[in-house]
Amino acid sequence: MHETQGVPMGLTMILFTMIAAWVVAAMAMLWGVLRVARRHHAIAQADIDISRPSKTSHLSAAS
C-alpha cells in the first residue's frame, strides 16, 4: 500500500495548480490592458473627430 499521509498534494496537482494560477493571472492582466486600451482609444478618437476640419471646407471657400 502507498503511504500518502505525509504528502498533502501530488506533483501533478501542484503543477496543475501552478499552471492554472499563471493562466488566471495572465488573463486578468490581458483583460485590464484591453479595457484601458479600449477606453483610451474611444477618447482619442473623439478628440480627432472634433479637431479634424471638414473634407468639403475647401469647396465652400472657393465659391
Among 29, 25, 28, which residue's Cα sits nearest to residue 17?
A: 25
* Residue 39 in grid coordinates: 477606453
- Note the pLDDT of residue 38: 84
Query: What's the predicted TM-score (pTM) here?
Result: 0.51
Instruction: Give average pLDDT by consecutive 10-residue segment, the chain, 63 residues.
Output: 66 95 98 88 62 64 57
- Alpha carbon 13 to its chain centroid, in Å, reads 28
The residue length of the chain stands at 63
